[in-house]
């Protein structure tokens, strides 16, 4: 299905104005600094961000607040809250009252948030102890554990997800082992559990490494001082180590939660179409239905969730101490 992507004159005017402002700021900076300084070497990156981040966001906002004819409308957001709104337009106001309110989009968002919450909690429960072992200076295997977490990330994300199919499918390795031990086969694929397992596996390193970075930066003398003051190892962990590692925890939560909400390939492969995440819904709006306006509205809602998440991170970690990956 071909879609008309032509823009009104004012959209091109906004793009041209943004480019002119960027060139003007670069010239003003050169004039004030009496020449090109090191700060201007970031100009290509700034230009890249304008072209491939800011302008696409403007286009998404444009499609979200317009219809196929380019007229301003809020129907795209009404469709999000009431998935039967399009059908009600077709049947007319007389029969609209007999159609119950559809909550397909809202239910999908709630399900995605719940799955992302579970993925984040499980990743935190698994990742924090792993980060503690990795950051322990007396732990000789700490560097080896770091390598074990890094090596899977060298493999393509899609391949890592598909590899789980050979383990979880009906004739997979796990069921073969269960049959060899005399147990019946269990259905491990095409359900929410398989999707959650794939999400935790793929996003766990993004929880571990920010916490590991925050823990490795802690001064060992603080732990020694806590022990001298009579704190037990558990008290040192809860009163010294964990509070100081909070920036890394918040960073890890953000880096796991947001990709989990928007993921779409993992539910498709491990869920078998039986589960739909918010990312799947956005993809179907753009690619299957060809509804760029509705897909843009959903994308804008997701961007608002990302901004809220980033604002929470900013307040919990204003100095960005836990934002490092390695």
Task: State how far Cα 157 lies from the chain centre.
Answer: 14
User: Is the whole-model pTM more than 0.75?
Assistant: yes
Map tokens 């890890």 to a residue.
Answer: 252
Query: What average pLDDT score do residues 290-318 get?
Result: 81
Cβ atoms within 10 Å, residue 194: 25
pLDDT for 172 beyond 70: yes
pLDDT for 90 beyond 60: no
Most confident of 68-72, 192-196, 311-315: 192-196
Q: What is the pLDDT of residue 7?
A: 64
Look at residues 12, 44, 13 and name the one whose alpha carbon lies nearest to residue 26: 44
Task: State how far Cα 7 lies from the chain centre.
Answer: 29
Cβ atoms within 10 Å, residue 89: 12
Q: What is the pLDDT of residue 208?
A: 93
- Residue 316 and residue 326: Cα distance in Å, rounded? 20
Query: What average pLDDT score do residues 45-54 get?
Result: 80
Query: What average pLDDT score do residues 100-113 get?
Result: 80
Q: What is the pLDDT of residue 124?
A: 95
- Residue 311 and residue 318: Cα distance in Å, rounded? 10
Q: What is the pLDDT of residue 91?
A: 55
- Residue 282 and residue 291: Cα distance in Å, rounded? 10
Query: What average pLDDT score do residues 103-110 get?
Result: 82
Query: Which of residues 250 and 102 earns the better pLDDT score?
Result: 250
Tallying the residues shown for the chain, one arrives at 326
pLDDT for 101 beyond 70: no
The least confident of 23-37, 91-105, 147-161, 266-280 is 91-105
Cβ-contact 100, 84 below 8 angstroms: yes
**Average pLDDT value over all residues in the chain:** 81
Cβ atoms within 10 Å, residue 30: 14
List, for residues 121-161, the tens digit of each pLDDT value: 999 999 999 999 888 877 777 777 788 888 888 888 888 88
Query: What average pLDDT score do residues 56-65 get?
Result: 88
- Residue 200 and residue 79: Cα distance in Å, rounded? 32
The domain limits of the chain are 9-64, 104-316
pLDDT for 170 beyond 80: yes
Which residues make Cβ contacts (< 8 Å) with residue 105, sequence separation at least 6? 79, 80, 81, 83, 281, 298
Query: What average pLDDT score do residues 168-191 get?
Result: 87
pLDDT for 325 beyond 80: no
By CB atoms closer than 10 A (0-12, 13-18, 19+), residue 111 is middle
- 104-316: what CATH class? mainly alpha
Look at residues 181, 317, 136 and name the one whose alpha carbon lies nearest to residue 243: 317
Look at residues 244, 219, 275, 295 and name the one whose alpha carbon lies nearest to residue 66: 295
């Amino acid at each position: 299905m071909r879609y008309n992507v032509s823009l009104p004159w004012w959209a091109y005017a906004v793009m041209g104005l943004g480019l002119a402002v960027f060139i003007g700021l670069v010239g003003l900076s050169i004039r004030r600094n009496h020449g090109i300084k090191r700060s201007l070497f970031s100009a290509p990156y700034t230009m890249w961000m304008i072209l491939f981040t800011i302008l696409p966001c403007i286009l998404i906002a444009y499609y979200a607040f317009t219809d196929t004819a380019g007229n301003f409308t809020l129907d795209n957001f009404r469709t999000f809250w009431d998935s039967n709104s399009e059908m009600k337009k077709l049947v007319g106001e007389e029969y609209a009252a007999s159609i119950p309110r559809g909550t397909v989009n809202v239910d999908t968002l709630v399900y995605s948030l719940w799955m992302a919450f579970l993925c984040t909690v499980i990743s935190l429960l698994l990742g924090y102890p792993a980060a503690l072992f990795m950051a322990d200076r007396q732990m000789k295997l700490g560097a080896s554990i770091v390598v074990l977490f890094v090596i899977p990330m060298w493999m393509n994300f899609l391949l890592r997800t598909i590899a789980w199919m050979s383990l979880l499918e009906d004739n997979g390795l796990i069921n073969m082992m269960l049959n060899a031990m005399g147990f019946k086969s269990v259905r491990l694929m095409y359900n929410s559990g398989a999707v959650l397992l794939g999400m935790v596996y793929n996003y766990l390193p993004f929880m571990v490494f920010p916490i590991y970075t925050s823990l490795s930066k802690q001064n060992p003398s603080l732990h020694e001082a806590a022990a001298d003051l009579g704190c037990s190892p558990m008290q040192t962990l809860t009163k010294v180590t964990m509070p100081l590692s909070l920036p890394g925890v918040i960073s890890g939560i953000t880096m796991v939660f947001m990709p989990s909400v928007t993921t779409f390939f993992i539910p498709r492969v491990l869920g078998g179409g039986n589960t739909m995440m918010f990312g799947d819904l956005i993809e179907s709006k753009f690619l299957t239905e060809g509804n760029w306006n509705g897909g843009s509205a959903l994308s804008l809602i997701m961007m608002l969730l990302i901004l809220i998440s980033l604002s929470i991170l900013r307040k919990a970690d204003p100095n960005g101490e836990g934002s490092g990956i390695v």
